[in-house]
A and B are shown apart, each in its own frame.
Chain A
Amino acid sequence: MKIAVMSCIHGNYEALNAVLSDIDDHNVDRIYCLGDLVGYGPHPNAVVEMIRSLDIPTCQGCWDEDIVEGLNACECSYPSVLAEKRGKLAHEWTNQVIHPEVREYLAQLPFSLRDENLCFVHGSPHNQHEYLLPEVDAFVAMERVLATGADILFCGHTHIPYVRCLGSHEAGSLDAAQLQIRVKLTGKSEQNMSFSAPLKRIVNAGSVGEPRHGRPNATYVIYDANSDQILLREVEYNYQKTCAAIIEKGLPPIFAWRLARGLEFAERADDPTHVCER
């Protein structure tokens, strides 16, 4: 089985189209979406309609939740006063233009999804607003994965894709797991063999519509269960078109300026020790 996992589209229809085309080229069996379909970007309704029409299993992101239930964020959502004001402005704009049926769709999205040994969430299994940054404490990271009962936890929210392997029992480190076996072949002496393999993994899908890796390109991941390979994809798209739409729709021009530079529209939490209190 081969799956594509994408997250954080944020109303960027051009980016979504480009990613879906790229996914088409990779013959995946299924697509999962980790939420944040709306917010900041100029086409929230079109993005949701596209996801719905393709019947893509989607979990609820923090922006989706806030559009349904109103803003109620922990301090980690807005690391600066300026980011908070920009975020609230984007929220108000999205809240005004969103169609009733789109809001209803966002409201019924599940918090998490499961597919055998895979779990899909937006932020963390604790809540949609928590950031699982790549440098978050290994024990915290492991606890988050174990809480799901899955082997691989797919998340988004940070807007930077990464793969993190967890599993060793060595003191102070959980980044590699040792598996020891004893092999005895007929006519030969016993042999001890060691393997290093991750027991648990966190895979962050990055962001389709609001990257913050320094380039405007969309990112998502492909996971091949047969080969256990994870592929981080970066897709170019016509971001100028999205930038023009941001200005045309009356969103702050600084959103377009930041999108064109892969800077994200606002900011994100950068403290890996912070545990979301929401």
Chain B
Amino acid sequence: MQTLDITLVTGPSGAGKTTWIQQQIHSIADSALYLNLGADADSVDSTYLAAEVPGLKVLSITQLADFLAHPIPRAAIYLELGFHIDLTSLILPDQMADCRRVAVLSPGTRHTEWHDWADETVTGIEAEFTLQQPHFWRSALSRQVLDPASLNTFWYELTNGAYGVVQRAKGIFDMADGRSLYFDFVAGLPATPHLELNLPLWLNGRPDRFSGIEVVGEALEQETIAQTIKECCLEDHVIAYYQKQMRELVSEEVMG
């Protein structure tokens, strides 16, 4: 039987799992595949990595089964396990019995179930993890287009505790000028500017691609968060107005 290059990656939220996977994929020349177990096929991490790592193929859980049955030669696959997945109940297929198990942990992390489970621990980001019972909340926002100034206000409020204690937040948001922006927050780390994803400008109607938000925290006011995001969204006629302006601008640049 062919030996598969499979790496399972786990660790607490915000420790740097996705960042570590991104670094690993950059360092290998052959093709790489990625699957986020515990998230939908479309997730913030999957969309972010697919946009930012050239050549990376993001798998669905069905495609994982196909891959295991018919592996691609010399392909490395990284499976990210969400922090909320119970490792003791994780049953792996036979083809994955010998896979590499990596735990990405913040410096100084005391002995945890991740240590017991992993073959290898990697020092990740020095983040503050003080929550007793972290809660995971996410919302898909596909086809929604947000007002940039409103998004900045909302993101500031969210990451500064207006809607509960937030340990980790990340999101992908579509803008009226066609850009897809990636926002990333880890408690205790300096605020980072948003990143414009390497995706085509969407300038014809509501974007038919993934956007969404994921938040890990405590005492999260989910309904208020959802309502505030809704209040940041633009109506059809506003989107059409801005997209028309952008199309004309792009057209002028091409002609010029």
Contact = CB atoms under 8 A, between A and B. Distances in A.
Given A267-B149, A267-B153, A81 B231 contact: yes
B232 A81 contact: yes
A269 to B, nearest CB: 11
B183 interface: no
A80 B232 CA distance: 8
B162 A82 contact: no
Nearest to A89: B231
B157 A257 contact: yes
Interface string B218-256: 000000100010011110000000000000000000000
Nearest to B229: A82
Interface residues of B, number: 14
Contacts of A262: none
A263 to B, nearest CB: 9
A83 B150 contact: yes
B154 interface: yes
B147 interface: yes
Contacts of A81: 147, 149-150, 231-234
Nearest to A82: B150
Interface in B156-211: 157, 160, 162
Contact of B149 (A79, A85, A254): A79
Contacts of B228: 82, 254
Contacts of A258: 157, 162
B154 A82 contact: yes
A79 B148 CA distance: 10
A261 B153 CA distance: 14
Contacts of A80: 147, 149-150, 153, 232
Contacts of B154: 82
B174 to A, nearest CB: 14
A58 B232 CA distance: 36
Interface in A234-277: 253-254, 257-258, 261, 267
What's the dominant secondary structure at chain B's contact region? Answer: helix
Contacts of A253: 224
Interface in A116-171: none
Interface string A182-204: 00000000000000000000000
B28 to A, nearest CB: 43
B231 A85 contact: yes
Interface string B18-31: 00000000000000
A83 to B, nearest CB: 7
Contacts of A79: 149
Contacts of B234: 81
A254 B157 contact: yes
Contacts of B157: 254, 257-258
Contact of A82 (B160, B224, B232): B232
A257 B233 CA distance: 22
A137 to B, nearest CB: 23
A79 B151 CA distance: 12
Contacts of B149: 79-83, 267
B176 to A, nearest CB: 10
A10 B59 CA distance: 54
Contacts of A86: 231
Nearest to A253: B224
B154 to A, nearest CB: 6
B145 to A, nearest CB: 11
Contact of A254 (B147, B150, B162, B232): B162
A80 B157 CA distance: 15
B157 to A, nearest CB: 7
Nearest to B147: A81
A261 B154 CA distance: 15
Nearest to A85: B231
A254 B149 CA distance: 17
Contacts of A257: 157, 162
Contacts of A261: 160
A37 B208 CA distance: 46
A257 B160 CA distance: 10
Most buried by B among A80, A82, A86: A82
Nearest to B234: A81
A172 to B, nearest CB: 31
Nearest to B156: A263
A216 to B, nearest CB: 15
Given A79-B149, A82-B147, A254-B224, 7 more contacts: A80-B153, A81-B231, A81-B232, A81-B233, A82-B232, A83-B150, A267-B153
Interface of A: 79-83, 85-86, 253-254, 257-258, 261, 267
8 contacts: A80-B147, A80-B232, A81-B150, A81-B232, A254-B224, A257-B157, A257-B162, A258-B162
